[in-house]
């Protein structure tokens, strides 16, 4: 549709505009992130005190779950901010963007499970590596959406040149590299692995 053309309600051009509108994808994504962030805190339980136990000592037992919650909350927050910045570049969507976004949400939805697993088995290399795989998946899927959208000028507000695309891909891939390093050292240094993930 050219600028200045009149759009009549119910016309093919109007339906096409609505079909390609990104607002419903953003609304779904925001809702999913809100639910995920809420679910993360549910794994932190108020401790039950035994006859000889103090509240201070009981709270120490909750510390691994609280640390896992903080890590997962930071990751979820960064993913939401990254998704918001990504869709600030995207003007229209197609089925490819929709399905890739659902794939990204699938990865993000695993964060509560990863957080609960990490809180219960904090120094187990397998728990750390599974949590790391979830983090890698969240970053990779968002990077794939970005790469897909910017290579289709009809989807973005302003087409990007090759240099901007390459630098954007490198920036998006950097967290993946950090998470991969954290995944690799999980078996050698369980304490350092979660700390490295929070850097991203």
**Tens digit of each residue's pLDDT (9 = 90 or more) over 5-38:** 444 555 666 766 677 788 889 999 999 999 999 9
Q: Report yes or no on 171 lying in a domain.
A: yes
In this predicted structure, the answer to whether residue 2 has a pLDDT above a threshold of 70 is: no
Domain hosting residue 174, numbered range: 12-198
Name the more confident of 124 and 176: 124
Q: Report yes or no on 1 lying in a domain.
A: no
H helices of the chain, where?
12-20, 23-41, 55-89, 95-109, 111-120, 125-150, 162-185, 192-198
**Tens digit of each residue's pLDDT (9 = 90 or more) over 113-160:** 999 998 888 778 888 888 888 988 988 898 899 888 888 888 888 777
Contacts of 61 (CB under 8 A, 6+ apart): 47
Q: Report yes or no on 5 lying in a domain.
A: no
Q: Report yes or no on 118 lying in a domain.
A: yes
The structure's pTM equals 0.74
Instruction: Report how many domains make up the chain.
Output: 1
């Amino acid at each position: 549709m050219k600028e200045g053309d009149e759009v009549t309600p119910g016309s093919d051009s109007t339906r096409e505009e609505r079909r390609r509108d990104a607002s419903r994808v953003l609304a779904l994504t925001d809702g999913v992130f809100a639910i995920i962030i809420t679910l993360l805190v549910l794994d932190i339980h108020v401790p039950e005190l035994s006859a000889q136990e103090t509240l201070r000592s009981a709270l120490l037992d909750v510390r691994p779950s609280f640390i896992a919650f903080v890590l997962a909350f930071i990751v979820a927050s960064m993913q939401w901010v990254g998704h918001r910045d990504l869709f600030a570049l995207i003007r229209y969507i197609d089925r490819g963007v929709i399905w890739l976004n659902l794939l990204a949400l699938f990865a993000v939805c695993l964060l509560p499970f990863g957080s609960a697993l990490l809180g219960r088995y904090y120094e187990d290399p397998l728990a750390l590596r599974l949590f790391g795989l979830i983090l890698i998946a969240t970053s990779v899927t968002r990077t794939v959406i970005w790469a897909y959208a910017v290579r289709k000028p009809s989807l973005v507000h302003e087409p990007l040149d090759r240099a901007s695309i390459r630098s954007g891909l490198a920036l998006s891939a950097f967290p993946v590299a950090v998470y991969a390093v954290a995944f690799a050292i999980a078996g050698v240094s369980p304490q350092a692995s979660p700390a490295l993930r929070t850097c991203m």
